[in-house]
């Protein structure tokens, strides 16, 4: 594929702050709910937007990402807002993107499921007992990625818009260091390909710079 491709854009909430997750049911029958408090991802989102951290987008939490960024703003834009973290995902017109976009438009996948880790500088989660069930509250987390999914753990994390744009030209500008890193990654992927189960479109996406 060349640099001209259809653009398909998904927008939605990765997380709505202060909204409960679906419950995890313990063997005792008690339920554990989780809440991510206001601005828990603020520092992490700032780091991503500054290029100091990366984020990955995948389908149904499959490890091989469909949208990878190591350079700020290439395919995924994240914003920390008062209500939560809002994301805009640009899917470039390859096989996997076509599939994901079709699923979203058909309402097969309607949610976004956040992937995170406890922040090294953050406090341990606080626990409360509410009507016999547990409520875990996070005040500071590191955003690692998110999945486009049919059933997000947080019901309020939803895709709110799916749009298809005209043919667009994507301008790419890489430094010498970027190009060296990309070449090294390509060589590593090719070396691993004999025993790897990756599908051809995943290599195509990688070579297009969806990182």
- Read off the pLDDT of residues 66-110 as tens digits, 9 standing for 90 and up: 665 443 456 788 999 999 999 998 876 566 677 788 888 888 889
Tokens 């805009």: give the residue. Answer: 88
Count of CB atoms situated within 10 Å of the CB of 40: 25
CB contact at 8 A, 100 and 12: no
- Torsion over CA: 62, 68, 200, 95 (sign): positive
Provide the pLDDT for residue 207.
Answer: 35
Provide the pLDDT for residue 142.
Answer: 94
Provide the pLDDT for residue 62.
Answer: 78
Residues in the chain predicted with pLDDT less than 50, given as ranges, are 1-3, 69-72, 167-174, 186, 189-190, 192-211
Query: How far from 118 is each of 34, 133, 140, 183, 205, CA to CA, in Å?
Result: 13, 22, 7, 33, 30
Provide the pLDDT for residue 65.
Answer: 60
Provide the pLDDT for residue 180.
Answer: 58
CB contact at 8 A, 209 and 182: yes
């Amino acid at each position: 594929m060349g640099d001209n491709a259809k653009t398909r854009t998904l927008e939605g909430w990765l997380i709505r702050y202060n909204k409960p997750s679906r419950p995890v049911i313990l063997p005792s029958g008690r339920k554990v709910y989780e809440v991510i408090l206001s601005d828990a991802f603020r520092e992490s989102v700032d780091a991503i937007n500054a290029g100091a951290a990366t984020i990955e987008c995948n389908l149904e939490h499959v490890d091989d990402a469909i949208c990878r960024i190591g350079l700020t703003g290439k395919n995924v834009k994240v914003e920390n807002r008062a209500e939560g973290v809002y994301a805009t995902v640009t899917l470039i017109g390859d096989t996997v993107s076509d599939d994901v976009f079709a699923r979203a438009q058909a309402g097969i996948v309607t949610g976004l499921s956040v992937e995170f880790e406890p922040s090294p500088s953050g406090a341990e989660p606080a626990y409360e007992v509410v009507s016999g069930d547990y409520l875990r509250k996070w005040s500071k987390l590191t955003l690692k990625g998110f999945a486009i999914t049919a059933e997000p753990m947080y019901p309020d994390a939803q895709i709110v818009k799916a749009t298809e744009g005209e043919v667009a030209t994507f301008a790419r500008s890489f430094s010498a260091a970027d190009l060296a890193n990309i070449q090294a990654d390509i060589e590593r992927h090719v070396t691993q390909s004999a025993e790897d189960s990756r599908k051809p479109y995943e290599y195509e996406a990688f070579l297009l710079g969806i990182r």
